[in-house]
Every structure is written in C-alpha cells, then in structure tokens.
Structure 1
Amino acid sequence: MKRAALAAATLLCSCVVSPSLADAVAARLAETVVEAQVEEGVLKGYMLLPGDRSGQPVAVIIPGSGPTDHDGNNPLGIKAGYLKMLAEELAEKEIGSIRIDKRGMFASTTGFPDANDVRMTDYAGDAIAWLKVAREKAGTDCAWLVGHSEGGLVALIAAQMAGPDLCGVVLVSAPGRPLGEILREQFTGNPANRPVLPQLLEATRTLERGEKVDVASLPGIVRPLFPESIQGFLIDLLSYKPAELIAKLRVPVLIVQGDNDLQVRVVDAKNLSQAQPSAQLKIFPGMNHVLKETPKDNLIANFAAYGDAEMPLAAGLSDEIAGFIAGRR
C-alpha cells in the first residue's frame, strides 16, 4: 500500500505544471490549417509541427475509407479520434504531421462538387501534393506517408510515383490482399448476412469483373452497400493488388497491424511483409482497427472503442512509428 501511495503521489506531482509551462506546451503543439492546391481545387489539412527547428521529420497521415475525416472520425458512428491522437503523440516525439480531409469531404470541398466522383489515383495524386506541402512547411528534403486502412492503399499507389519527395511509407492496418477477398471474408464471417450472402458475394464478383451491379435486383438490406453513386469507385478500388504494389517500393516501409482488428487481419500485414522482405513488421496484441487496445473475443468492447475518444491508443504504437521515422532521417 505504501508503494502504491508513493507511486500515485509521484504521478500526481509529474502532472502538475505551472501555467506558463502548460502554455508553452500548448503553443508548441498548436495546430494550423494548411492547404494543398491540385488541378481541380483546394485541399485542406491540419498541421502539427513540434518546436521551431527546421528539418524535423514530417508525415502526411491519410485517413481510411468512406467519409472519414482528418481526425479519424466518421459521421456513420466512428468517434474515436485515433488519427488526431496519433498526430499528437508523434508531435510529442518530435515527428510533425499533416492530417488531411479527402477531396470532396469536410473542409476539402472547394472545387470538388461530388465526393463520389473519384478514383484511387486521384487520392494518390492528392497525397503527392501533400508531400510537397509537408516538406516545404517542415523545411525537409522529403516527407513520409502514413496511411491507415484504405489510406494505406492510397499510400502504396502514391509511392509508385512520388519520387524524391517521399522519405518512406508507414502502413497502419492496411489491406494486404485485394479488397474483394477481404469483403468476402467480412461478409461470410458475419452470421447475420447468411440470408443474403449469395447476393453479397455475387455483387462483389460483379464489381471485380469491372461491371456495375443492378441495385434494383438486390434485397433491400443489401442495397445501401452498393449504391450506384460509388460503384465506379468500388470497381477501381477492387482492381488493386497491395502485395504487388509494395513489392515495387525502394523506400523504407513499416507495416503496423493489430491482432484484434475486425476489418483488416494479421494475414494482410504478413502478405505485405512477404511481398517486401525489407519492410519492418510490427504486430500489436489487442489493437483493433481504430488503434485502441481491446480484449480479445469481446466484440462489444471492440465496437465500443470505435466511439470512445477518451480511450488511449494501443501502448507503444506511436513509439514504434516515431522510432522508425526518426531512425531513417
């Protein structure tokens, strides 16, 4: 008991800072809005650059699929704020970042009237534009791409044509198999899909063939998954093979994956690692898709983390990423 009391007292003392020191820390991590100009319009991002020294490492953090914003949140129910938390933790470790809103979404709507009128090469081109902004703002020769989930695939595509602006790539919970294979696994693994599983699988195969799905022919419960407005994007998305893309890279790569991820599996990370043996691979026990550590085989806790902005990131995650980036300056 005495040891516990002493530890608690020590912890309390370490957290009490003078107002001037607290203000200094806040100013050091002040977030600023930055822009990237592309042919069609203006993209917005949110920059955290620690300190005032030029030449510190900086990364562009690319969000995942759907209407996911620069913080990692999504109006469909994801409120975990995991990308903002990652950026803040990286800043504390002297790694700067720019978190971005994808074209046509949130703050990046100027010049993009239809967010669904997009292809993966558009996102990749935007990522390259952000690389230039990041290295100029940070005063560095190159910048990093950190892609989460579908953002990892964007990073892999962008890396094929980024040139010297790119220092390297960090893939976080990124697919390592064609998306059609992952979709089939997700559909088949959910018992609730059993009554409509044939239609789900056939719709996926149709898109993989490069053909559009007749939405009217689908059961009502399935139609929201394959709306006409995004089928062009889905056809494009399903055409990519992540393992083939990573095999072509000649820049440093870190692959980070949680073993409690319900959307992207450890097998994806291992596929990527096998395709690019020079890449560094780190598996985090208990980490789920929103980068929070949750108990294994507890779906309720896993899904609850998607809406919990107070829950910390998985222990060691930002240390791993920051260490990798800093070690390859």
Structure 2
Amino acid sequence: MHSLIVATLVAATVAPAGGLPATDRELTFRADGIAAHGTLHVPAHRPGARLAAALLLPGSGPTDRNGNQLPALRPDTLALLADALGRDGIMTFRFDKYGSGPAHTPPPAGADYGVFVRQAAAAYATLRAQPETNPAAMLIAGHSEGGLNALLVGTSVWPRPAGLALIAPQDQRILDMIAAQVGAQLDAALPPEQALAQNQLITTWIAEFRAGRPTGTEGMLPSIAGLFETLAAQGAFLRSDDAIYPPDVARKVPRGTRVLVTCGTADPNVPCDTLPPLLQALPGEHLVTLDGIDHLLHPAGSPAEGQPLAPAFLAALHQWARPWSAR
C-alpha cells in the first residue's frame, strides 16, 4: 500500500521575475510498509502553474536516486537526466532503490521481483500527489532495467503516463540477457571451441533452471560458475524476474502514449539488434539510435564518472519532451 508523504525543502535557486524559483524537495514515501526516500526537482515556474512530471527509474542492482552504486560507480545518470528535463520545465522525482542510498534499506524478506515494481508505483503516486503536478502530463523515464520497470509501472498505475522514455531498456528475459552478455565476453576472451563449450553449459543451466530441475556448474570456468551459483541462490527472486518478457508488457502500453526508445551502438548490455521484438510490440514508438554511445550514455571509451550525457541523447530526450516543455 502507498503512504504519502513527508517533504522537506532542501534547495532553491533565485526566482525569475514574477515567478517561483527552482527547488529540490526531499520526499519520503512508503511501499510494502517500508520507507523510501527521494528528491523532487521542481523547475522555476509561474505561481499556480501545473507542470509535467516525470518519474525517473534506475537500472539494476542497488542503484540510488542519482543513478549511482556507491562507492564503486558514480555516473550520476539520473541526476543528469533530472537536470536535462528540468531545463525543459519538467519536474522530476527520483528515489533510492532498495539497498541503496544512505539508508541501504533492503527489500522485504522473501520478496519477488514485484517488490521493485511496487516501490516504483508508490513513487509514481507520490509524484502525482505533489501540488505542482499536472496529472494529465505524468511521464516515466527509465534507464536499463528501469526501462522495463517503466513499462511495468506505466501499464498498471492510474492515471496512465502520457509518455514513456525507455533509455537503453531491458528488452529480453533476464537470463537471456545474462547469457548474451557473458557469451560475448567469452567469445572475446577464449578460443572459439572453448567459448562454444562454455556457452553450451550456460544454455543448459538456463534450460534446467527454467524447467525447475536441479542446476549444476560442473565444467564452467570458475568465474562463470560463481556467477551462476549466485543466481541459483536467488532462485525464487530470479524465477519471478526471468518470467517477465518485456515485449509482452509493451503490448499493454495504451495507444497514444508518446514513447521514446534509445539504443547505443557501443552498448554491449542492450545491443540495438535485440530491440526489434520490443519495438514491434510498442504503439508508435520512436527509436533513436545513438552512434558510438555506450550503456551509460557516454561516447565509447569515456570514463564512467564525471561525464555529461551525450549530446545526441540529450537531443532525443528534448524532442520526446517537447509536447510538455514549459520552456
């Protein structure tokens, strides 16, 4: 159940003439009885104006409201996304996913994948309840796994979002994505016959797991075996995650929804050539292919940290947001 809202004003900028300044507010909300925390950014606006409002969803793992997995990874993907949308006059809400942020609050014990969808849906309700929000211009933008969650939330909440931005989105079942990513690494690192043998072991492991039969890692390289042993230990959660086929969810997106899909030609996590089933399932999607851009929306070979979002991506985002822009 959703429970709203504790808010604290934490930052403000100088107000434009006759208007209200841009502000950041700290919001606390609850999902499954667990408190979650996030940042609402409200751009400068006229008094009484209702603004388009975008929920920002992070990628996989314990990713915080800014798009970081501290202390190891700090690309600030969602913070930069909030800044870009704010320049178009769109307010945003981003939150600390389970296991991230100062609280590092874990999900409920024994939870399946749906716990992350419910947390995101509660965040959407929190954003909807803000006094500056235009309920007819609710949006969701998700990066990587967040793209899948944008679909799952966007086809279950009310009001339905008017727009979805699926940024390098998860477009396959999770085990198929893992197999493809690990397979590409094996192909690059091993002689062909050894890579083929390892990939066959992975294919067998996945088939046994999906059939509900015992799995084994005999014959796998130690690093690969360790990965699949960890996956097996998360069996119930992994099974609920792997059951989700993104194109099936995409078919539920209402016609008239403005949809942006991006892929980077230098993105090994979500290669452009795997996207067609998802694209075919979406109503009126707009695919933007980003030449030479990686999964973190940087030019290939760039450091993960301290980089702006690629200009080509920002142009695509601005074009998607144009109907709701207050600038």
* TM-score, normalisation: structure 2: 0.79
Pick from 67, 86, 94: which aligns with 2:89? 94
For residues 162 and 113 of structure 1, the distance between their equivalents in structure 2, rounded to whole angstroms, comes to 22
Pick from 269, 281, 286: which aligns with 2:292? 286
* Matching residue of 2:309: 313
Q: Which amino acid aligns with 2:80?
A: M
Cα distance, 1:229 vs structure 2: 4.4
**Alpha carbon RMSD of aligned pairs, Å?**
2.9
* Matching residue of 2:241: 237
For residues 283 and 273 of structure 2, the distance between their equivalents in structure 1, rounded to whole angstroms, comes to 15
Q: Deviations over 1:112-168 (max 9, x none)?
A: 465xx4333222222221112112223321421111111111111122211315223
In the TM superposition, 1:1-329 aligns within 5 A as: 24=14, 28-53=21-46, 54-75=49-70, 77-107=72-102, 109=104, 112=107, 117-137=110-130, 138-142=132-136, 143-190=138-185, 191-192=188-189, 194=195, 196-210=198-212, 213=215, 220-226=222-228, 227=230, 228-250=232-254, 251-294=257-300, 301=301, 304-306=302-304, 308-309=305-306, 311-327=307-323
For residues 55 and 184 of structure 1, the distance between their equivalents in structure 2, rounded to whole angstroms, comes to 45
Distance 1:208 1:267, change over 3 A: farther
Unaligned runs of 5+ residues in structure 2 are 1-11
Cα distance, 1:48 vs structure 2: 1.1
* TM-score, normalisation: structure 1: 0.79
The structure that is strand-richer by fraction is 2
Cα distance, 1:222 vs structure 2: 2.7
For residues 238 and 41 of structure 1, the distance between their equivalents in structure 2, rounded to whole angstroms, comes to 25
Distance 1:197 1:167, change over 3 A: same
Q: Deviations over 1:280-302 (max 9, x none)?
A: 211111211001122xxxxxx1x
Q: Which amino acid aligns with 1:24?
A: V
Q: Which amino acid aligns with 2:241?
A: L
Q: Which amino acid aligns with 1:94?
A: G
The structure that is helix-richer by fraction is 1
Unaligned runs of 5+ residues in structure 1 are 1-21, 295-300
Cα distance, 1:50 vs structure 2: 0.4
